[in-house]
């Protein structure tokens, strides 16, 4: 699983570390996304393999990512998302990901893991996205609030918006109107917007809402409620003129195959490090079991 600039069917969500109050810096915040379609008969093997990859990166200060699967949308679709502050960080992240695997398992075994990963999937797509904080609503005020939001999130609903040629300005104006209405709505809802800058055909935006349960989506105000009759009619007109198609999916986080940043883990350690939490309670003072194929023991503990 090379950590490259990659695609996903989901969320412009989960940036993994920037303070939301630093507006200028946010404009240089990217999402590096890999989405894979797993072979149904290989799902158990895929899960076991990616758990080992995550454990190696936790132990050896490797790359950071969040993983999720599509619950409502294409089945057996898994997405890995990392935050990058520049294009250059992609190369650095790929290097430390591979170094973590090789340090844990040895180069030959690490190369075999990459091959096995590819054998478990039908297809993959890479995408690089720019976070559009200017179009996002109710962003957390600082890094701590951001980590708390992500740490408490379990479900993400994302609408993928494909634009017609030459309609970026119209869509951005529409998105700013919706943002202004959403910022005033009650209860307040945080919505993240990102834009594909590589790995997609045409112009594609992602609009994502985060919740700690599926029930949370029941309480969100609708667009007609937020915009009013006149505003909603304008929305429908611009939508028809500027947008060629949309797809809405719901995803859930997969903590077992994620390597979340420590600030996020600290919000809900039993969720983000479930196996480590169980081992700590059941085997206090003991080293975890190590697969025979490994060349080094892996202690599934948070990065220092």
All structural domains of the chain with their residue ranges: 23-282
May I ask the CATH architecture of the domain 23-282?
Answer: 2-Layer Sandwich (3.30)
| Residue pointed to by tokens 């915040």 | 29
What is the pLDDT at residue 237? 93
Give the Cα separation of 226 and 31 in Å (integer): 29
Residue 8, φ and ψ in degrees, nearest 5: -155, 160
Mean pLDDT of 71-87: 96
Query: Coil, helix or strand for 213?
Result: coil
- What's the burial of 80, exposed, middle or buried (CB within 10 Å: 0-12/13-18/19+)? buried
Question: For position 187, what pLDDT does the model report?
Answer: 77
What residues contact residue 282 under an 8 Å CB cut-off, 6+ apart? none
CA dihedral 299, 300, 301, 304 (to 10 degrees): 70
For residue 116, give the nearest of 54, 56, 42, 51 by alpha carbon. 42
Q: Are 8 and 35 in contact (CB under 8 A)?
A: yes
- Chain centroid, CA 152 distance in Å: 14
Give 225 or 50, the one with higher predicted confidence.
50
Region of residue 145 (phi > 0: left; psi between -120 and 50: alpha; otherwise: beta): alpha
- CB of 123 closer than 8 Å to CB of 79: no
pLDDT for 49: 97
Q: Which of 21-30, 73-82, 137-146 has the highest mean pLDDT?
A: 73-82
Judging by beta carbons within 10 Å of its beta carbon (0-12, 13-18, 19+), is residue 263 exposed, middle or buried?
Answer: middle
Which of the residue ranges 17-26, 42-51, 138-147, 182-191 would you say has the lowest mean pLDDT? Answer: 17-26
Q: Is the pLDDT of residue 41 over 80?
A: yes
Give residue-wise pLDDT tens across range 94-120.
Answer: 999 999 999 999 999 999 999 999 999
- Measure the CA–CA gap between 23 and 142, rounded to whole angstroms: 10
Reference 259, options 88, 90, 59, 119; nearest CA is: 59
Q: Report yes or no on whether pTM surpasses 0.75.
A: yes
Cα separation of 263 and 148, whole Å?
8
Average pLDDT over residues 125-145: 93
Query: Residue 141: pLDDT band by 50, 70, 90 thresholds?
Result: confident
Q: Identify the top-confidence range among 39-53, 216-230, 274-288.
A: 39-53
CA 91, CA 10: separation in Å to the nearest integer? 23
The pLDDT of residue 297 = 38
Residue 239 has pLDDT above 80, yes or no: yes
d(CA 304, CA 297): 17
pLDDT tens, position by position, 152-170: 999 999 999 999 999 999 9
Ranges of beta strands (E only) in 76-190 are 77-84, 121-131, 155-163
Q: Is the pLDDT of residue 271 over 60?
A: yes
Please tell me the distance from the alpha carbon of residue 37 to that of residue 94, in angstroms, as a whole number. Answer: 21
Q: Is the pLDDT of residue 17 over 70?
A: no
In the block, residue with structure tokens 């005020």: 141
Backbone torsions φ then ψ of 203, nearest 5 degrees: -105, 125
pLDDT band of residue 207 (cuts 50, 70, 90) is: very high
The chain-wide mean pLDDT, for the chain, equals 85
Rounded CA-CA distance 190/182 in Å is 9
């Amino acid at each position: 699983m090379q950590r490259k600039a990659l695609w996903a069917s989901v969320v412009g969500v989960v940036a993994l570390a920037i303070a939301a109050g630093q507006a200028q810096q946010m404009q240089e915040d990217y999402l590096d996304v890999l989405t894979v379609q797993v072979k149904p008969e290989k799902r158990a093997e895929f899960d076991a393999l990616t758990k080992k990859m995550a454990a190696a990166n936790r132990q050896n200060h490797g790359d950071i990512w969040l993983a999720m699967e599509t619950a409502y949308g294409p089945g057996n679709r898994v997405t890995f998302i990392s935050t990058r502050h520049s294009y250059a960080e992609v190369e650095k992240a790929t290097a430390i990901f591979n170094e973590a695997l090789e340090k844990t398992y040895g180069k030959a075994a690490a190369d075999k893991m990459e091959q096995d990963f590819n054998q478990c999937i039908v297809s993959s797509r890479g995408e690089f996205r720019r976070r559009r904080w200017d179009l996002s609503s109710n962003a957390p005020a600082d890094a701590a609030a951001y980590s708390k939001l992500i740490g408490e999130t379990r479900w993400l609903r994302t609408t993928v918006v494909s634009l017609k040629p030459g309609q970026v300005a119209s869509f951005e104006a529409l998105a700013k109107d919706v943002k202004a209405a959403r910022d005033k709505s009650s209860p307040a809802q945080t919505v993240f917007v990102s834009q594909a800058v590589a790995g997609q055909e045409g112009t594609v935006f992602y609009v994502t809402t985060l919740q700690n349960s599926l029930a949370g989506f029941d309480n969100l105000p609708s667009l007609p409620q937020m915009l009013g009759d006149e505003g909603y009619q304008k929305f429908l007109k611009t939508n028809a003129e500027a947008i060629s198609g949309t797809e809405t999916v719901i995803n859930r986080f997969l903590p077992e195959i994620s390597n979340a940043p420590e600030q996020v883990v600290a919000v809900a350690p039993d969720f983000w490090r479930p196996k480590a939490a169980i081992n700590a309670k059941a085997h206090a003072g003991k080293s975890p079991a190590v697969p025979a194929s490994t060349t080094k023991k892996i202690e599934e503990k948070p990065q220092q």
